[in-house]
Copies of this chain bind each other. A is one copy, B any other.
Amino acid sequence: MSQTFQGVIPPVVTPLTESGDFDIASFERSLNHMIDAGVHALFILGSSGEVVFSTDERRREIIEATMSIVAGRVPVLVGCIDTQTNRVIEHARVAAELGADAIVATAPFYALGGMAEIEQHFRLIRAAVDLPLFAYDIPVCVHVKLPVDMLIRLGRDGVIDGVKDSSGDDVSFRFLVQDNEAAGRPLTLLTGHEVVVDGAYMSGADGCVPGLGNIDPAAYVRQWNAYQAGDWETVRTEQDRLAKLMRIATVTSGVTGYGAGVGSFKTALALMGIFTSNRMPEPVVALSGDNVTAIEKILRENDIL
């Protein structure tokens, strides 16, 4: 496996203007903020990148802006998230056409199926589009966990090139790392859990996809470098600080799920002057009032402001 997709790969949050348009100026500031901090790649149109809120036109707009702004400085992974195979393939073809370096797809969702359909789904995407393919394991959204043995088989068969693990199942993740090792490392294995990246590194992860990396990319890069150097104490210390910073996502009240999580990231980025607005996609309402104050306090306590 090449090292192209190893290291710190933030799932890029998408800025909107107050009127709900895509805010390309804020987007450029944000991408540069991350690239300048040394992140190793960028993952756009992930769950945090409001992919499922975005129309096809909006998705295209975001990919085009990214390719133009990044201009080859780092690889770009593009989320092709949709309900079932043929819709995902359409997104994947657009991503390929626009220059994506890799695509990311979840298990199919909404319609009920079994493991045979999930495996066939990835095989069909692979057959349709000639780009590195990451399986995105996110049971909280698609309501099924990708089994370790299927992932390894898909890796051995050259169907998928890696896994973005947002399963929250660290036991399964460790078994995945070990089985991947035993299989000759066909897969690049990334953790999506920004609060416990140190644990994933202990398990042997190849990198992380931290939403919080939009806010403090430099800390995740320092942590990665410490990991590469075997400096576990720094890995842990950086993580502890980042876990404190992550409280921006749990300090809000009266809001749940996406509105609290990505809502807090957008609010932080607005407070930092990177975004011009913390506007959320319909039907989600932006954080306001005491929730903004509480987030600001945490940013100050952790030297972000």
A interface residues (Cβ-Cβ under 8 A, vs B)? 47, 50, 52-56, 58, 81-87, 90, 108-114, 116-118, 120-121, 124, 140-143, 168-171, 174-175, 178, 193, 195-196, 198-200, 202-204, 230, 232-233, 235-236, 239-240, 243-244, 247, 250, 255-259, 281-285
Chain B's closest residue to A255 (CB) is B114
Contact A111 B258 (CB under 8 A): yes
Contact B195 A196 (CB under 8 A): no
Chain B's closest residue to A247 (CB) is B175
Partner of A114, one of B112, B240, B250, B257: B257
Question: Of residues A86, A114, A240, which shows the largest number of chain B Cβ atoms within 10 Å of its Cβ?
Answer: A86
Partner of A202, one of B56, B141, B198: B198
In the bound complex, what is the Cα–Cα distance between A285 and B117 (angstroms)?
8
In the bound complex, what is the Cα–Cα distance between A283 and B126 (angstroms)?
13
Partner of A117, one of B171, B232, B240, B283: B283
Residues of B within 8 A of A86 (CB): 53-55, 58, 281-282
> What are 13 A-to-B residue pairs whose CB atoms are below 8 Å?
A52-B111, A53-B85, A85-B281, A109-B110, A112-B258, A113-B259, A117-B283, A170-B170, A171-B196, A175-B250, A196-B202, A202-B239, A232-B232
**Chain A at the B interface: SS class:** helix
Number of copies: 4
Residues of B within 8 A of A284 (CB): 113, 117
- On whether A141 and B111 interact (CB within 8 A), knowing A171-B193, A199-B196, A282-B85, the answer reads yes
- On whether A282 and B202 interact (CB within 8 A), knowing A170-B170, A257-B114, the answer reads no
In the bound complex, what is the Cα–Cα distance between A56 and B171 (angstroms)?
33
In the bound complex, what is the Cα–Cα distance between A283 and B143 (angstroms)?
17
In the bound complex, what is the Cα–Cα distance between A256 and B240 (angstroms)?
36
- On whether A285 and B120 interact (CB within 8 A), knowing A47-B111, A232-B232, the answer reads yes
Closest chain B CB from A271 CB (angstroms): 22
Residues of B within 8 A of A143 (CB): 143
Question: Of residues A84, A90, A114, A258, which shows the largest number of chain B Cβ atoms within 10 Å of its Cβ?
Answer: A84
Chain B's closest residue to A149 (CB) is B250
Chain B's closest residue to A250 (CB) is B175
Contact B52 A114 (CB under 8 A): no
Partner of A199, one of B52, B54, B198, B256: B198
Contact B124 A283 (CB under 8 A): yes
Contact B141 A52 (CB under 8 A): no
